Structure 1
């Protein structure tokens, strides 16, 4: 399991720390955990839902995101995970395209499990259809982790790294995990 300390886009904001961990399980399961340290309880958490519905615009509240890119290809997937236990998966042909809002849902990634935990959030995703349709092996895939945190001090953006002038989770240069 690989872990990454996500950094806040606003470097002055040090009140919350976020660590993301990625684990590939053969043949097509991806497990990701987000660990949150929020000693001052600044994060505003959405209310829990009873099942794991697909829901758009999760990024308007506290939300964790996984980006799945493919080496040498423009297309990618964005998975939004709410601490409410709602989720959604989006497909893009290239950088932020198509520009639909909400983005086009992707149905080639399925949710095995999504749970808010005492430490943050844990998810298990089934990438079978996505990987088989594109004839992918784990070595072809790279992953980015990010988070939008609604806090008492405003919205904060966390990612593996920030190489753009603005917080931009779609920037593939910032998706650092390879298998």
Structure 2
């Protein structure tokens, strides 16, 4: 299933024309491919890192997935560096703690006009819809915020209105 993220109306996005996300279910995982189109040479890409859990990935170019659950929601951060993070929240921006669910960044490919990041996340129990978002930092310091849906006000990927995509059923084995 292919969807398009839109930029928040209050953030600059001079370098990027569009961001698309291909989403699917592969066995027990959610598979994602984030595709960024535009002058990707103007994007500040994080340096390669160990493919381990790391905090504060959202402070630079990063792709995110939010999954509501029966006990709150989960946030997954997927860095082009290869690092990832997962957090659980008891409620809207409350009760944040590391989550048990894992993620894996499978790789980043880039040319002058596009870049793709492919990843797998382990969905939490009960998650049937998701929010998709991206933080894009340009080399001049500008930051743009992209999502499936933006609630009124400043960029807020945690807002329930952002959890706008019903997950497709798992693909047959």
Q: TM-score range by the shorter chain?
A: 0.7 to 0.9
Q: 1:36 to 1:78 in 2, by over 3 A?
A: same
Gaps of 5+ in 1: none
Distance across 1 between alignment mates of 2:7 and 2:44 = 16
Correspondence for 1:104 among 92, 97, 100: 97
Correspondence for 1:117 among 104, 109, 114: 109
Distance across 1 between alignment mates of 2:105 and 2:80 = 12
| Alpha-carbon contact 1:68-1:78 (below 8 Å) kept | yes
Larger deviation, residues 113-122 vs 156-165: 113-122
| RMSD over aligned Cα atoms | 1.9
Please tell me whether residue 86 in structure 1 is matched to residue 83 in structure 2: yes
Correspondence for 1:147 among 134, 155, 160: 134
| Alpha-carbon contact 2:48-2:82 (below 8 Å) kept | yes
Q: Equivalent residues in 2 for 1:55-94 (5 A)?
A: 55-70=54-69, 73=70, 75-94=72-91
Could you tell me the TM-score, scaled by structure 1's length? Answer: 0.81
Distance across 1 between alignment mates of 2:91 and 2:40 = 39
Displacement, 1:104? 1.3
| Alpha-carbon contact 2:84-2:105 (below 8 Å) kept | no
Displacement, 1:92? 0.2
Could you tell me the TM-score, scaled by structure 2's length? Answer: 0.84
| Alpha-carbon contact 1:42-1:153 (below 8 Å) kept | no
How many residues are matched? Answer: 160
